[in-house]
Amino acid sequence: MTERAIYDLLVWAWLGVAVLTVLSLLWITAPYGRHARGGWGPQVSNRVGWVLMEAPASLAFLGFWLYGGAPLGATALAFLGLWQLHYVYRAFIYPFAVRGDPARGMPLSIALMGALFNVVNAYLNARWLFGLGPSLPASWLADPRFLAGAALFLGGLATNRWADRVLRELRQPGEHGYKVPRGGLYERISCPNYFGETVQWIGWAVLTWSPGGAVFALWTAANLVPRAVSHHRWYQSKFADYPPERRAVIPYVL
């Protein structure tokens, strides 16, 4: 069986796992962060867990770019740069910027499942872009699909970073509790960070116009929308005066 045939099977299998994931997350909230709880095996610190979970996305994507001949064309470098713009921050900067309880941990099993997802996801995206899919010329950077997708990607990225900063600045150094975030998109939804990241990877799917990007966008929504709903319900249960007009993740809708 050729690698392309294996790739196509993996895309469909990964799409099926995404469907199962969203169905399971409607009933079971992943046990980390504010939803942390016991019963999921050994734990590591949140910081270590985030690095273990997110670093493979950055490193594996780079590895598959090298495996694909390290193409230096403008389009290939744009894909590589946009991917790393997200994951270098998520793996190597964000975990050390978050303020929270240093004693709170993450189940090692969750971190390892996240790492496995990120390796498979990096393969599906990078191998298509740097080997199995069509080699896109520099003119692709002026294609409406790339321009629209890049606008969504960068807009979603900016929203995600802004929302993370708002949450981080709610706590003074040494504080460990939770507060209600205010301002901007937080006045409409509980989780602008998840909204931004979902928009971002929809943009990636459009700007790469690839099967791996499409499946990743679906995976992002399958993972983050149920978690945003769980966050929203948590806020409502913890804060009696939580703004009733807020939705979970899509303004005025959900």
241-248 contacts, C-beta under 8 A, 24 or more apart: 242/180, 243/180, 243/187, 245/188, 246/186, 246/187, 246/188, 246/189, 246/190, 247/188, 247/189, 247/190, 248/189, 248/190, 248/191
Query: Rounded CA gap, 52 and 46, in Å?
Result: 10
H helices then E strands: how many in the chain?
8, 2
Q: Is the pLDDT of residue 22 over 90?
A: no
Tell me the whole-structure pTM to 2 decimals: 0.90
Identify the weakest region by mean pLDDT among 2-11, 90-99, 155-164.
90-99
Say if strands 43-45 and 105-107 run parallel, antiparallel, or are unpaired. Answer: antiparallel
Percent of the chain predicted with pLDDT > 90: 62
What kind and span of H or E run contains 107? Answer: strand 105-107
- What confidence tens digit (pLDDT) does each residue in 147-183 have? 999 999 999 999 999 999 998 888 776 666 788 889 8
- What confidence tens digit (pLDDT) does each residue in 121-147 have? 999 999 999 999 999 999 999 999 999
Please provide residue 114's backbone torsions phi and psi, each rounded to the nearest 5 degrees: -65, -40
Q: What letter does residue 45 receive in the DSSP assignment?
A: E
Q: Is the pLDDT of residue 196 over 80?
A: yes
Give the model's confidence band at 39: pLDDT under 50 very low, under 70 low, under 90 confident, else very high: low
- In this prediction, residue 103 carries a pLDDT of 54
- In this prediction, residue 37 carries a pLDDT of 58
